[in-house]
A and B are shown apart, each in its own frame.
Chain A
Amino acid sequence: MEARGAARLRAERRRTRLALAPALGVLTLLFGGALAGAARTSFVPLGGHATLDAWRAMFDDPAFGDSVRFTLQVTVLSTLSSCALALVVALAVRRRSLAVRAFLSLPVPVPHLLVALTAVLWLAPGGLADRALGGLPLTLVRDDLGLGVVLVYVYKETPFLVLLLLAAMGEALATREEAAAVLGAGPAQRLRWVVWPAVRTPLVVGAIVVAAFVLGAFEVPLTVGPSYPPTLAEFALQATQGDLLAGEGVAAATLLLTAAASTALAVLAVRLAKDVSGG
């Protein structure tokens, strides 16, 4: 009899795996295939033998070093500013009306490219801000520091992060805050002991998503970024546009490196978040 129960349990587990199979199978095949394909492109030029030429060419390119520095700078600045601003905004609007929140989340469904275009129309020399103010104090579009890129990302990602944070600041948090207040915790203490632990995990998750996106996307730097240095994604794109055969290999190597970097970043962030919660 017990054997029958165990057999039923095994069958149930088989059904569970079967239910996961379509989604995870397709992802494994496509995603694994993509990584394998990129690796193959970077190591084996079409019809040739395996070489490290593409990787060597990438590291030898003087633009590569600048590109790494520039990409990291933009990624770190965008992610940290978005997170900080999102925390402030979420705390400011968490008891506000639905209308305020809806307005605030308007940029979430707007594609990055459109946000970049909006930034150009407002902030470029001769743009709306320039006209309204009669001159701009600093260049924000196609500037060497990539501030325009950072600004676009902050504008686009902050509402996304605010939504994540507001979801974590639901009713359960309000009751816990009440409990803490009754026990004598002041506003700052409640923020530190009740609100922060509740929003930390969604914030870290959101930060990972933002950082990974900034690291790998290139429609924004192509639109509002400087022509030099390129971000890593732009660097890869430029490689394919130059020497067609060797370029593909360099591009693939660069993209693999970017993928590895964002994965490492994610692992690091998760670790860091765990350490904070442990301490």
Chain B
Amino acid sequence: MSGHALEIDAITVSPGGSPVLRGLSLRVAAGTRMALVGPSGAGKTTLLRAIAGLAPLDDGAVRLGDRSLRSVAPHRRGVAVVFQEPRLLPHLDVQENVALALRAAGVRRAERRAQARERLDEVGLGGFAARRTQGLSGGEQQRVALARALCGDPDLLLLDEPLAALDPNRREELRRLIVRLQRERELTTVVVTHDRAEAAELGQRLALLLEGRIVQHGTPSELFERPVSAAVARFFGVANLLRGEVRGGLLDVRGAQIEVPGPDGRATLAIRPEHARVDDACALRGIVGEAVYAGTHVKLVVDCDGQRLELHVPPAGAPSAGQEVGVELPRERLWRLPDDDEVAVS
């Protein structure tokens, strides 16, 4: 089956009376996964609810393939939603929960149960068909919810923080399952999460939502390594922002001259902590204020005469707090923010 593209065109949504989303637009290509990421309160869930028809549009349009969804009731949209909590019906067994959409469509009992069991096989719950929902673990319940969403053969799959309530191992399993099932079906999918790493792993493309606006969208590496603004940089953990005048391709950082890309003039440069290196041969020097072992790396906070820099370095041979070190900011890893104005907020 071929997917349908989702097009969101300048929608305004005000669930509590005042607008949470203002003129938001977004396009999700047919058969792809879009991860919608942002801090809590940014409007991610509201956007998902607007697509599903659970939150009415004040303005704008939502199209799925060549259909406008604007005045279509939620249950006729061909959309399926997996919520953060599984929301299983306690009075039905697992297979009837999975078959809910088929039952709504009037599919006969034997037929819909057979289909439900197929979906359950796919999510790895083959033997669970006749079980009650109460005894299931959180991860199992969420997989039942996923099977239920797929059972109605939707044109669009929406997932709202599907992994949030799970422990790390279950989370990894379910993430793989979601990606595999989506790929097999080429199902257009939007998944909401507040976790940037999860977003990168779940989405083929990411969209960052801040205060009701999409501030950047693109591939995961674009958002992680080439943020368009300081706010985006901060959300994706680009902890180091350097500001100043570039003269002759060099930026003065506390007396050290750093090679930077781009033309001369005012600039803000960003570099991820894992891309900065400790190198005592470098001119940029500072004192290690903090050295925290974080399992796979050591987090350093280095104070270079008032300019705070964060570095992630390998545990072997990592400096300790109080030590003086040189910091290398490799030119090819420095990213110059395209719009400089927003930095003033920092």
B168 within 8 A of A: no
Q: How many angstroms from the CA of A4 to the CA of B19 in the assembled complex?
A: 10
B222 within 8 A of A: no
Residues on the A chain within 8 Å of B19, using CB: 1-2, 5
B118 within 8 A of A: no
Residues on the A chain within 8 Å of B16, using CB: 9
Q: How many angstroms from the CA of A2 to the CA of B22 in the assembled complex?
A: 10
Is B58 a contact of A9 with CB atoms below 8 Å? no
Total contacting residues, chain A, CB less than 8 A: 7
Q: Which of B20-76 contact A (CB under 8 A)?
A: 22, 56, 58-59
* B22 closest partner in A (C-beta): A1
A8 within 8 A of B: yes
Residues on the A chain within 8 Å of B56, using CB: 8
Interface residues on B, range: 10 to 19
Residues on the B chain within 8 Å of A5, using CB: 12, 14, 17-19, 58
Is A6 a contact of B59 with CB atoms below 8 Å? no
Q: How many angstroms from the CA of A8 to the CA of B14 in the assembled complex?
A: 9
Least Cβ–Cβ distance between A1 and chain B, in angstroms: 5
* B56 closest partner in A (C-beta): A8
Is B58 a contact of A4 with CB atoms below 8 Å? yes
* A9 closest partner in B (C-beta): B17
Is A1 a contact of B17 with CB atoms below 8 Å? no
Interface class of chain B by DSSP: loop
Least Cβ–Cβ distance between A110 and chain B, in angstroms: 32
* B20 closest partner in A (C-beta): A5
Residues on the A chain within 8 Å of B12, using CB: 1, 5
Q: How many angstroms from the CA of A144 to the CA of B17 in the assembled complex?
A: 65
Least Cβ–Cβ distance between B13 and chain A, in angstroms: 8
Q: Which of B179-228 contact A (CB under 8 A)?
A: none
Residues on the A chain within 8 Å of B59, using CB: 1, 4
Residues on the A chain within 8 Å of B17, using CB: 5-6, 8-9
- The 0/1 profile, CB within 8 Å of B marked 1, for residues 1-41 of chain A is 11011101100000000000000000000000000000000
Q: How many angstroms from the CA of A54 to the CA of B115 in the assembled complex?
A: 77
Q: How many angstroms from the CA of A5 to the CA of B18 in the assembled complex?
A: 7
Q: How many angstroms from the CA of A88 to the CA of B21 in the assembled complex?
A: 56
Q: How many angstroms from the CA of A6 to the CA of B15 in the assembled complex?
A: 10
Q: How many angstroms from the CA of A6 to the CA of B12 in the assembled complex?
A: 13
Q: How many angstroms from the CA of A6 to the CA of B17 in the assembled complex?
A: 5
* B14 closest partner in A (C-beta): A5
Least Cβ–Cβ distance between A8 and chain B, in angstroms: 6
- The 0/1 profile, CB within 8 Å of A marked 1, for residues 278-293 of chain B is 0000000000000000
* B15 closest partner in A (C-beta): A5
Residues on the A chain within 8 Å of B18, using CB: 2, 5
Q: How many angstroms from the CA of A1 to the CA of B56 in the assembled complex?
A: 12
Q: How many angstroms from the CA of A6 to the CA of B16 in the assembled complex?
A: 9
Task: Count chain B CB atoms within 10 A of each CB in A4, A5, A8 and give the residue with the most.
Answer: A5
Least Cβ–Cβ distance between A5 and chain B, in angstroms: 3
* B60 closest partner in A (C-beta): A1
Least Cβ–Cβ distance between A213 and chain B, in angstroms: 36
Least Cβ–Cβ distance between A15 and chain B, in angstroms: 13
Residues on the B chain within 8 Å of A1, using CB: 12, 14, 19, 22, 58-59
Q: How many angstroms from the CA of A9 to the CA of B58 in the assembled complex?
A: 11
Least Cβ–Cβ distance between B222 and chain A, in angstroms: 31
Q: How many angstroms from the CA of A8 to the CA of B18 in the assembled complex?
A: 11
Residues on the B chain within 8 Å of A6, using CB: 17
Q: How many angstroms from the CA of A2 to the CA of B13 in the assembled complex?
A: 9
Residues on the B chain within 8 Å of A9, using CB: 16-17
Residues on the A chain within 8 Å of B58, using CB: 1-2, 4-5, 8
Q: How many angstroms from the CA of A6 to the CA of B19 in the assembled complex?
A: 10
Q: How many angstroms from the CA of A83 to the CA of B58 in the assembled complex?
A: 54
Q: Which of A17-70 contact B (CB under 8 A)?
A: none
Q: How many angstroms from the CA of A2 to the CA of B14 in the assembled complex?
A: 8
Residues on the B chain within 8 Å of A4, using CB: 14, 58-59
Least Cβ–Cβ distance between A252 and chain B, in angstroms: 48
Least Cβ–Cβ distance between A63 and chain B, in angstroms: 58
Residues on the A chain within 8 Å of B22, using CB: 1
Task: Count chain A CB atoms within 10 A of each CB in B14, B16, B22 and give the residue with the most.
Answer: B14
Q: How many angstroms from the CA of A2 to the CA of B21 in the assembled complex?
A: 11
Given pairs A5-B19, A6-B17, 12 additional interface contacts (CB within 8 A): A1-B14, A1-B22, A1-B59, A2-B19, A2-B58, A4-B14, A4-B58, A4-B59, A5-B58, A8-B14, A8-B58, A9-B16
Chain B contacts to A: CB under 8 angstroms: 12, 14, 16-19, 22, 56, 58-59
A-B contact pairs, 8 of them (CB 8 A): A1-B58, A1-B59, A2-B58, A4-B59, A5-B14, A6-B17, A8-B14, A8-B17
| Closest 7 pairs (CB-CB, A-B) | A5-B14, A4-B58, A9-B17, A1-B12, A1-B58, A1-B59, A5-B58
